[in-house]
Structure 1
Amino acid sequence: MIAERAYRIETPRLCIRCWNPADAPDLRRALDESAEHLRPWMPWMKNELFSLDETVNRLRRIREHFDLGQDFAYGIFDPGGHRCSAARACTRA
């Protein structure tokens, strides 16, 4: 059974939406810019050395899991849904 999910939620201040492989350059930039700040708090960032191609592939898998209702990883973007400012994942129990 596929869980109900929202692909996109928009407010006047932000857009929360599922990731797409096309988001890879923006996600890669955000991770690269924030790496030193994130490493102490997020264990998965300790070895975050993925290339852009690997980031595209990672987002393909994330989107596949989202479409199948297995995991729900969202990006938090500007109101137009273009520039990423944060990320959040929700895993089914």
Structure 2
Amino acid sequence: MKHTIFLITTLAAWASASKQYCNTGTDGDGSCEKQGWNTFCCMNNPNEPDFQITRTVLDTSNAPNGFDNCGPGNNGKVSCCDPKEK
């Protein structure tokens, strides 16, 4: 049963994964790290100078304040990404 739940969770994360423009890292609530990922602020806008790293967003998260928005004008989302992705 545990393996089935893990598989469903993994497939759901994979199916919802998308490429975004991210910063070099942001504070989160720890949920990304619990899955072995890192926390970034990511957005669709490639024109922001601090958001030039293309990463696959695997899941969304929250900042320590409980909100999921971040970045300039709060236009980004706190996101979980694989730290090994190049």
TM-score tier by shorter-chain length is under 0.3
* More contact order relative to length (CA 8 Å, sep ≥ 6): 1
Give the TM-score, by structure 1 length: 0.24
Q: Which has the higher strand share?
A: 2
| Greater helix proportion | 1
